[in-house]
Amino acid sequence: MPDLVGTWRLIKVVSHDPDGKPLTPPYGTHPIGRIVFNTEGRVVVAVSDGRRDLPAGAKREYGGYTGAFTFDGSTLTTHVDASPNPALVGTAQVRGVRIEGDDRIVLIPPPREIDNAVHHRELTWERISPV
C-alpha cells in the first residue's frame, strides 16, 4: 500500500458533468492547496481559489478540514473533527484515490451538485515533503 505520510500541494483540479463535458472547476483556474498526513493518522486539508483578483461578482471558494484518516490503498476516509464549515464536523469524507507514480495522487470525491450542475471532480496532488 502506498504511503500518504507527508505534505502534498494541489497542482490541478478538473471537473466534468455525468456525460464527460468539462465544467468550470471549483477553486478557479489557479487552485492552491495543501494536505498534510502525519504518522499518527491525522490529516489537515486546505484548498482555495488562488487567483489574486476575481472577476466582478465571483465568489472565492475555500474549503478545509482535519481529522483522523484511514487509507486502504484505494479509498481515503477522513473522520472530520474540525472545519471552517460546521456541516462537515462529525462526517466521514470519503475519497477515491488513484496513485500516479511515487509522488502524485489523485483524490476523487463523490459527485456533487454545484450551481445546478453535477460535478465529477478530480484533484491532483504532488508530494513536496516526506514529513
Give the mean pLDDT of the chain.
94
Q: How many Å apart are CA 62 and CA 49, to the nearest integer?
A: 7
Residues in the chain: 131
Write down the pTM of the prediction.
0.92
The residue type found at 104 is R
Q: What is the DSSP letter of 22?
A: B
| Contacting residues for 82 by C-beta, under 8 A, at least 6 apart | 65, 66, 67, 89
**Strand duo 117-129 + 104-108: pairing:** antiparallel
Dihedral (CA of 18, 23, 27, 31) sign: positive
Maximum average pLDDT range among 25-29, 83-87, 101-105: 83-87
C-alpha cell at 66: 482535519
**Model confidence over 13-52: pLDDT tens digits?**
999 999 999 998 888 889 999 999 999 999 999 999 999 9
pLDDT-based confidence at residue 2 (cuts at 50, 70, 90): low
**Model confidence over 51-75: pLDDT tens digits?**
999 989 888 889 999 999 999 999 9
28 within 8 A of 15, measured Cβ to Cβ: no
- The third-level CATH classification (topology) of the domain covering 6-129 is Lipocalin (2.40.128)
Ranges of each domain in the chain:
6-129
